[in-house]
Amino acid sequence: MYDAKKLNRKKAAVRKELDSLRKQEARLMKAASHSRDAGFSNRLEEKIPAKVQETLEKAFCRAFGIVFEKGTRFIEKGIRRESMQEDHAIQNYAAELRGTRRELRKMQKSAELAGLRDMAVTAVEGVGLGVLGIGLPDIVLFISVLLKGVYETALRYGFDYDSSREQMFILKLLEGSVTKGGDWERLNAEIDGFLERDEGMVSSGEALKAQIEQTASAFAADMLLLKFIQSLPVVGMIGGMGNPVYYHKVMKYAGLKYRKRYLCGLERRCQEEERKQI
């Protein structure tokens, strides 16, 4: 039975949540607009040999390739997929039924709390390997933990992660989380086109391979100094301590986008329900 009052309440709640998200996005845009060419850390990066950056780029590319091609089953062993899907179904039903901001925010809190455990894991493995001066092998572990966090976030908002389309979306999310300046604005607009208007996203084998290289390049550029330091014995723990910082950075962006994607879908369903009554 059509309930105009409940539908209007739900639409208002979704609009307010989307407005709140857009304010967060504006802050992210401001942070991303800062140039990487200024600051003490960038002057240090200039002293790092070009060959080191090339090696790091290859390491990230290899890590993403390994994890995406062979590591998903391994990552899934630590994911309660069915349980998370059931939790989302219950929370989504409550949001659809009651249509209040309180119900919508329960989903967000659930996703955020789940990320705290994995952030702790990145700190332990990053510092531990850093003390030993192990930087490059750490990258595969770091990417695995990152992807586990993104996969769990996807499930908590009602999305899968294993189709080529979703893998492309995830790779673009990861790239967007560490990109700066005009490239961030371009990529962010592309991501928004996908989640707001369900615009197509090319996901062929060649496109995925190219995106893996692009995402790897973005991570190598942004984490160059930290991973270089982590490769030095003892002081490498300083570089390893950057892992949880980056985990938080990536998950903040991914969580925001998945939440926006869910809310945009809910908004479209409200509009469809309203059109049926005209």
Q: Which pLDDT tens digit goes with each residue over 218-242?
A: 888 777 655 554 554 444 444 445 6
Please report which confidence band the pLDDT of residue 48 belongs to, taking 50, 70 and 90 as the band edges. Answer: low
pLDDT of residue 232: 47
pLDDT of residue 239: 45
Per the structure, the count of domains in the chain is: 1
Residues across the chain: 278
Q: Where are the alpha helices (DSSP H) in 78-222?
A: 81-98, 101-131, 137-156, 164-178, 181-197, 205-222
Token pair listed for 238: 């300083």
Please report which confidence band the pLDDT of residue 124 belongs to, taking 50, 70 and 90 as the band edges. Answer: very low
The closest alpha carbon to 131, from 267, 239, 204, 40, belongs to: 239
Buried b / exposed e along 163-198 (16+ C-beta atoms within 10 A)? eeebbbbbbbbbbbbbbbeeebeebbeebbebbbee
Sign of CA dihedral 148, 56, 203, 256: positive
Please report which confidence band the pLDDT of residue 117 belongs to, taking 50, 70 and 90 as the band edges. Answer: low
Judge contact between 247 and 138, C-beta under 8 A.
Answer: no
Domain interval for residue 8: 4-276
What torsion, rounded to 10 degrees, do the Cα atoms 85, 89, 91, 92 define? 120
156 pLDDT higher than 80 = yes
Judge contact between 117 and 246, C-beta under 8 A.
Answer: no
267 pLDDT higher than 80 = yes
pLDDT of residue 125: 43
pLDDT of residue 24: 93
